[in-house]
Amino acid sequence: MSTTMITTEFQPKVVTNAVDFSFANVPPPGVSSDVLRWVEQCVTLTKPDAVVWCDGSLRERQAFFELGEQQGVFVKLNQQKWPGCWYHRSNPNDVARTENLTFICGPGEQVAGPTNNFMLDKEAYAKLGALFDGCMKGRTLYVIPFVMGPLGSPLAKVGVQITDSLYVAANMGIMTRMGLQAWKQLGPDGADFTRCLHSVGDVNPERRYICHFPFDNTIWSFGSGYGGNALLGKKCLALRLASFMGRQQGWMAEHMLLMGVESPQKEKTYIAAAFPSACGKTNFAMLIPPKKYADAGWKITTVGDDIAWMYVNKDNGKLYAINPENGYFGVVPGTNSKSNPNALMSMSRDAIFTNVALVPLDDGTFDVWWEDSDWPAPKKAISWDGRDWTPEIAEQSGLKAAHPNSRFTAPMDNNPVLDPAAKDPQGVPVSAIVFGGRRSKMIPLVYQAFNWIHGVYMGATIGSETTAAAIGQVGLVRRDPMAMLPFIGYSISEYLVHWIRMRKKMTDCPRIFMVNWFRKNDQGKFMWPGFGENMRVLKWIVDRCHGRAYARETPLGWMPRSQDIDIEGLNMSAAEIAMLEDVSIDDVKNEVLLHEELFLKLAGDLPKEMIFQRELLISRL
């Protein structure tokens, strides 16, 4: 075991004056009485030794890093290669979202529906209250005010997170609009804020709970320091609670990227896309067009890589979307200058690396490394779980240098292709919604829904094949409606009804598409090159949105002819494109039978529109 000075943050320490920064121990002027009262209740419950009111400044964040370095929470990286970057290692038992310990809490089980874990709200408050009681003795409590969404946006939401984790405080400063601006957005009399209480506790999986109280606009998370469980503005607020708020208030919170496509004629088209994990979502959000398209003047820009909040603009009846986040929390392994150079540039400065390999350098500083990076494997390193690692050890034992779910946290402004409208409070108009999954057979390269309701059915029945034995049988098709299954904050049947009802609010709705980059031939080889070449499919989608591209009617939907997809410069023939778009009626019949998995889960709560769409699909066969 390596002796490098870094802890797994079992016991967050009390803030000291060992750094050249004065942390605020009293609230700033203008904080509402509702906030003060709630913070006081949390302090009384958790009993910290000190309280810090975060101001969100860059100097404060730097002080978090410096203090974390003293406490073994952070390691400073070589500043010539990684300016402003730091390293963190989480507890080995705390490296991913814990969906089995994530609960929707309310007065009755119907609020959670058949796909969520449920706990009675009174029971949850009592169980977690006992865990939180005195949990911050000997620690510092940080009060983190933050805004999800561009400041001034009609959808922007204010949250206040209480935590005992320096790692969380530093990450929230990157991922959200954190600090004094949140108090201004809330106002001196504001009571409408999300109450987020978090403690790493003793990082014991047996005492780990992530509980959402949608009727109380509250999140309680105990026993985890990992991003998805601890950065409560992200999946917890921006998807689970926000999806519930959206249903109540007439908007949508979705697990979608947002991208801009600019043509050589300067026509801008915005697209939202939802893919399950391991389907190339971040790569698509930061797609680099092939040379032919780039030379012609095509440009791809990123509004967001993970979450979209969408509402209907009353002035024109169109669907608009904002990215509620202010940074990226992306998976590191596999990221390189070929797969996603824009992501690599985004993490090149002022970033936090979590659970990659730490590489000691001869000058006493540290580098980081991960599998499939641009750099050759180091002769020796410290693995993500603190063990000595060498290429020889990896070959003999299979030990990974970086955890498969290791992460980078980087400011949105680092992205060289950040869309100019990424911070527009009104958001961007969405012309297309793209669903996708990883399917080796049957599902064609691209097709378009006949209409909005048909598109909802397509999204609700997304299937994606598992890619690792740890998840279960490799190649097993798992249903992930709208790629939102783990993040819907209420009953899935009500969620689908909400999608259907949103159509009535729009006078001109986005076109809906399905894509599949992962179809294989009989030899088991991918039939489509993917990555930047997806631009060719994207162009057809854009042209369909603007009424310029041809499509033929098929049982699945509107589909391009082989000549409608540009293959100039590709080592592919029109016949191979036709094979990618080929659909066997027998395969479709089998796929319809597989949809039963979703239908049986919903039992009698399935919206009638879904039943009608299924019958229409069967009739087209």
The closest alpha carbon to 459, from 603, 590, 276, belongs to 276
Q: How many angstroms separate the Cα of 613 from the Cα of each of 460, 555, 572?
A: 11, 12, 35
H/E element, 305: none
Q: pTM score, two decimals?
A: 0.95
The pLDDT score that the predictor gives to residue 469 is 31
**Mean pLDDT per 10-residue interval, the chain, length 621 residues:** 48 63 93 98 98 97 96 97 98 90 96 95 98 98 98 97 98 98 95 97 96 98 95 98 98 98 98 90 93 97 98 97 97 92 97 98 98 96 97 96 96 98 98 95 95 97 70 69 96 96 97 96 94 96 97 96 94 92 92 82 81 93 89
382 and 296 in one domain? no
The whole-angstrom separation of Cα 126 and Cα 213 is 13
- Among 391, 411, 431, residue at a domain's last position: 411
Structure tokens belonging to residue 94? 């705390």
What 3-state DSSP class applies to 65? helix
294 and 203 in one domain? no
The whole-angstrom separation of Cα 138 and Cα 48 is 6
What's phi and psi for 410, nearest 5 deg?
-140, 145
The whole-angstrom separation of Cα 177 and Cα 492 is 30
List the CATH number of the domain containing 385: 2.170.8.10
422 and 368 in one domain? no
The pLDDT score that the predictor gives to residue 603 is 65
431 and 344 in one domain? no
603 and 465 in one domain? yes
Query: Residue 553's domain spans which residues?
Result: 254-326+418-620
Structure tokens belonging to residue 539? 């162009």
Whether 10 is in a domain gets the answer no
Whether 11 is in a domain gets the answer no
Number of other residues whose CB lies within 10 A of the CB of residue 549? 18
- One-letter amino acid at 569 equals G
List the CATH number of the domain containing 488: 3.90.228.20
Contacts of 33 (CB under 8 A, 6+ apart): 189
205 and 258 in one domain? no
- Among 411, 441, 463, residue at a domain's last position: 411
The whole-angstrom separation of Cα 612 and Cα 460 is 14
The pLDDT score that the predictor gives to residue 14 is 66
H/E element, 229: helix 227-230
H/E element, 366: strand 366-369
376 and 460 in one domain? no
124 and 59 in one domain? yes
List the CATH number of the domain containing 210: 3.40.449.10
Number of other residues whose CB lies within 10 A of the CB of residue 616? 14
Whether 536 is in a domain gets the answer yes
Whether 82 is in a domain gets the answer no
589 and 462 in one domain? yes
Residues facing residue 368 across a β-bridge: 358
The whole-angstrom separation of Cα 58 and Cα 462 is 42
Whether 19 is in a domain gets the answer no
Structure tokens belonging to residue 131? 């865990």
SS (H, E, C) 87-125: EECCCCCCCCCCHHHEEEEECCHHHCCCCCEEEEHHHHH
Q: Is there a catalytic annotation at residue 85?
A: no
Structurally, how many domains does the chain consist of?
3
- Among 411, 429, 444, residue at a domain's last position: 411
Q: How many helices (H) does the chain have, and how many strands (E)?
A: 18, 31
Q: Are 85 and 352 in contact (CB under 8 A)?
A: yes
Whether 358 is in a domain gets the answer yes
The whole-angstrom separation of Cα 392 and Cα 234 is 38
End-to-end CA distance of the chain: 61
Whether 612 is in a domain gets the answer yes
The whole-angstrom separation of Cα 465 and Cα 319 is 31
- One-letter amino acid at 128 equals L
> What would you measure as the largest C-alpha separation in the chain, in angstroms?
73
Sheet with 381-382, edge to edge strand ranges:
366-369, 357-360, 381-382, 388-389
Structure tokens belonging to residue 605? 């709560």
The pLDDT score that the predictor gives to residue 6 is 59
The pLDDT score that the predictor gives to residue 471 is 38
190 and 96 in one domain? yes
389 and 535 in one domain? no
Q: Which of 42, 135, 196, 279 is catalytic?
A: 279
Structure tokens belonging to residue 380? 């020796």
If you write DSSP's letter for every residue of 329-342 in order, what string do you get? EEE-TT-STTT-HH
Whether 215 is in a domain gets the answer yes
560 and 451 in one domain? yes
